[in-house]
Amino acid sequence: MVTPYVSDEDGLTQPFDAMASAGVNEKPRTIVLPVDGSEHSERAFRWYMNNVKRPNDNVKFINIIEPVYTSPGFGAALELPPLPDVSRVMTETVETGKKLCQEKMHQAKACNINSQAFLHVDSRPGPAIVKAVQDYNADLVVMGNRGIGTVRRTFLGSVSDYVLHHSHAPVVIVPPNATEAK
């Protein structure tokens, strides 16, 4: 009979529940949790709370705001209604992002979690999240995914796939449950 040897020098063999119940005296961890107001990011937050939360964790909520672009001259020969006020739209988008981040921080505070929230303006959410993970020296990323099929993900790409393959911190992608995926 062969007994497999598993080294625990790096601490990777501990189950999630043992990690979550670790003592208060342990080094604080930085957890990056991207939020966008969707059920997918809510599901990721609930998963974090139920599975890996520790008393000393510092959660960094990240909301990525995609900039509003206009292309002057496109369709200039046609009579079109004027473009929306880009400044107003961007201001509203930033305010919505701030409100979302404040709500997440209130939820975290109600659960005795230290947290901060950040807005990042970037047209590419995946690279922006990976940069935040690096900038905040994150120990773990917890994020949801939309449960799109393999073909759509191959052609459209996926923020969670990008983060999974480019982050230097461990990434937990919380999938939708069976009823959400349909």
Residues 28-55: tens digit of each pLDDT: 999 999 999 999 999 999 999 999 999 9
Structure tokens at 177: 């449950």
Summarised one tens digit per residue, pLDDT across range 84-124 is: 667 778 888 899 999 999 999 999 999 999 999 999 999 99
Q: What pLDDT band is residue 79 in, cutting at 50, 70 and 90? A: very low
pLDDT given at position 52:
96
pLDDT score of 130 more than 90: yes
Q: Is residue 21 a part of any domain in this protein?
A: no
pLDDT given at position 138:
98
pLDDT given at position 58:
97
| Residue 116 structural domain | 27-68+80-181
pLDDT given at position 6:
45
**Strands of the sheet with 140-144, listed across from one edge:** 114-121, 58-65, 30-34, 140-144, 171-174
Q: Is residue 144 a part of any domain in this protein?
A: yes
State the CATH number of the domain containing residue 100. Answer: 3.40.50.620
pLDDT score of 76 more than 70: no
- Domains: count for the chain: 1
User: Which residues lie across from 171 on neighbouring strands?
Assistant: 141
